[in-house]
Amino acid sequence: MTRDGSDGSLVSGGFVRGLSLVVGALLTCATLAIAVVWVFGIDAPFDAEPALFLLGMVSTGTAGALSWVARRLEHEEYSLSYALAYGYVNNFVDPVITKLVRSAKPGEKIEFYIYIPHELEELSPRAIDRTVAKIRAADFSSDVVNLDLEEGRARDVMTVYRDGGGAVTYFDIPSTLTTVATLVDYRLESKGDERTGAARRSDVGRNYIQEFEKEVRRLIEERKLSEWVHYTDRELGFLERKASEVLTRLGSEPGGG
């Protein structure tokens, strides 16, 4: 079977979308040409009016069919990302947030940050260790708490906090994405393309990560969890904001600067 997907999969949604554009352009040109023949009464070996009507119907039907096929192929191509996103939100994020909100003290602010990697390599054990080291280098402490959930088994959740005070922030790196690395390696190997390498693997992996992120965000919105769930990346931008909050709190206390 011919493989046209850039990652070694069968004909991809992107290929079909491109084909749809080409076919659409050709049909549009043909429609315009017949319209000119009909409007100006140019002699032609066919009846222009019914031909114009028929071509219009064919154009609409073809565009709709190719668009539907492209969407289905794209969904199948990234079905693993969607399944992982659903499992991650349904089995981890949702019950954890529910537990934290129910256990919160009056006025306590719950913040849960999901780490979205740019590359699959950011999910390796060493890369995760470097991320934790980066948090501690920014003068934050990190710990792991075990939450007994009402649904399912207990879960470990990382906490990030400043020894000088401030609210505890919950932080998670979705290790479930490591499954994608195995799939990407398999697809690139099965394609048998000698040009594939680290850069190609990175590009394909990034596509899966992006689809995972989109689905996670959609599910978080759908389940009304956005009040507590936020996102960060390797820049860990939330640390700077947390540090500013601590300084502001200390400055507002009696005897503070």
Chain centroid to CA 190: 24
Do 93 and 114 reside in the same domain of the chain?
Answer: yes
What is 61-84 written as a DSSP string?
HHHHHHHHHHHHHHHHHTHHHHHH
CA angle 230, 234, 240 (to 5 degrees): 65
Number of domains in the chain: 2
CA angle 210, 211, 212 (to 5 degrees): 90
**pLDDT over threshold 60, residue 228:** yes
Average pLDDT, the chain: 76
Pick from 229, 257, 107: which is nearest to 171 by CA? 229
What pLDDT score was predicted for residue 53? Answer: 56
Do 147 and 29 reside in the same domain of the chain?
Answer: no
Any domain includes 238: yes
What pLDDT score was predicted for residue 151? Answer: 74
Contact 238, 169 (CB under 8 A): yes
More confident residue, 161 or 164: 161
Domain boundary, last residue among 77, 99, 115 = 77
What pLDDT score was predicted for residue 4? Answer: 41
What pLDDT score was predicted for residue 41? Answer: 60
What is 153-184 written as a DSSP string?
S-EEEEEEEETTEEEEEEEE--GGGHHHHHHH
Do 70 and 143 reside in the same domain of the chain?
Answer: no
Domain boundary, last residue among 77, 98, 127 = 77
More confident residue, 30 or 147: 147
What pLDDT score was predicted for residue 118? Answer: 93
Neighbours of 49 (CB within 10 A): 11
pLDDT one-digit tens code per residue, 108-123: 889 999 999 999 899 9
Pick from 159, 200, 4, 186: which is nearest to 80 by CA? 186
What pLDDT score was predicted for residue 202? Answer: 82
pLDDT one-digit tens code per residue, 60-110: 655 555 454 445 445 456 788 899 999 999 999 999 999 999 999 898 889
What pLDDT score was predicted for residue 24? Answer: 57
Range of the domain at 29: 13-77
Q: What is the mean pLDDT of residues 167-182?
A: 89
Do 19 and 127 reside in the same domain of the chain?
Answer: no
pLDDT one-digit tens code per residue, 131-151: 999 999 988 989 999 999 877
Q: How far apart are CA 242 and CA 47, in angstroms?
A: 73
Q: How far apart are CA 222 and CA 231, in angstroms?
A: 16
Under the banding of pLDDT at 50, 70 and 90, the label for residue 223 is very high
Any domain includes 88: yes
Domain boundary, last residue among 59, 77, 95 = 77
Do 136 and 216 reside in the same domain of the chain?
Answer: yes
Do 198 and 170 reside in the same domain of the chain?
Answer: yes
Q: How far is CA 52 from CA 33, 36, 59, 108, in A?
A: 9, 10, 10, 67
**pLDDT over threshold 60, residue 192:** no
More confident residue, 188 or 234: 234
Do 56 and 170 reside in the same domain of the chain?
Answer: no
Any domain includes 5: no
Residue labelled with tokens 């959930």: 149
Do 58 and 84 reside in the same domain of the chain?
Answer: no
Q: How far apart are CA 3 and CA 251, in angstroms?
A: 63
pTM score, two decimals?
A: 0.67
Contact 234, 117 (CB under 8 A): yes
What pLDDT score was predicted for residue 149? Answer: 86
Any domain includes 25: yes
More confident residue, 240 or 33: 240
Any domain includes 257: no
What pLDDT score was predicted for residue 49? Answer: 57
